[in-house]
């Protein structure tokens, strides 16, 4: 098992100019072009979040079909957070009193906290938090070198002759 920080994708290193000058993975697989289809069994809330987040990622040109599984997990987690927030609004508050008179933390609190933490991690992975976004350069603001890289990536993926 490898430890330490997660490696940055080669495309991200090239877009930033590889400031650390570390060797880049030249055999990294190319992203599968396009927005992945949403699973048919997503809840209404998860489907609405799917549309929102995939649109945002597509505008930043940071999405590929291989992202389907993490996007499903993100959207389902968002739906859990949404449902927990609705239930929390109906509940008496952060603390509840049991039948025997004991005061306990509302069971919805850890559900809310867990879903919120998971969403923050997903958001950082997708580059959609403000701090993560500062580390991403959209392909739309490309230089000539970036255009050459895109052409190479498409050639590797078999999209361009």
When pLDDT is averaged across residues 27-32 and rounded to a whole number, the result is: 66
What pLDDT does residue 124 have? 83
Domain ranges across the chain:
35-140
What pLDDT does residue 154 have? 64
What pLDDT digit, counting tens, does each position of 50-93 carry? 999 999 888 877 788 888 999 999 999 999 999 999 999 998 88
Whether 22 has a pLDDT exceeding 50, the answer reads yes
Burial of 83 from C-beta contacts in 10 A (0-12 / 13-18 / 19+): middle
Whether 141 has a pLDDT exceeding 50, the answer reads no
What's the pTM?
Answer: 0.66
SS3 letters across 78-114: HHHHHHHHHHHHHCCCCEEECCCCCEEECCHHHHHHH
| More confidently predicted of 102 and 132 | 102
């Amino acid at each position: 098992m490898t430890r330490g920080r997660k490696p940055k994708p080669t495309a991200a290193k090239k877009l930033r100019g590889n400031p650390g000058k570390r060797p880049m993975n030249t055999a990294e697989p190319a992203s599968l072009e396009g927005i992945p289809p949403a699973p048919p069994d997503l809840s209404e809330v998860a489907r609405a979040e799917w549309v929102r987040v995939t649109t945002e990622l597509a505008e930043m040109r940071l999405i590929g079909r291989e992202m389907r599984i993490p996007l499903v997990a993100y959207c389902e987690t968002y739906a859990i957070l949404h449902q927990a927030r609705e239930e929390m609004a109906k509940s008496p508050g952060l603390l509840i009193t049991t039948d025997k008179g004991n005061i306990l933390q509302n069971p919805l609190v850890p559900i809310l906290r867990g879903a919120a933490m998971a969403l923050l991690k997903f958001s950082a992975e997708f580059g959609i938090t403000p701090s993560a976004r500062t580390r991403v350069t959209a392909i739309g603001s490309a230089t000539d070198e970036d255009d050459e890289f895109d052409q190479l990536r498409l050639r590797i993926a078999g999209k361009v002759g």
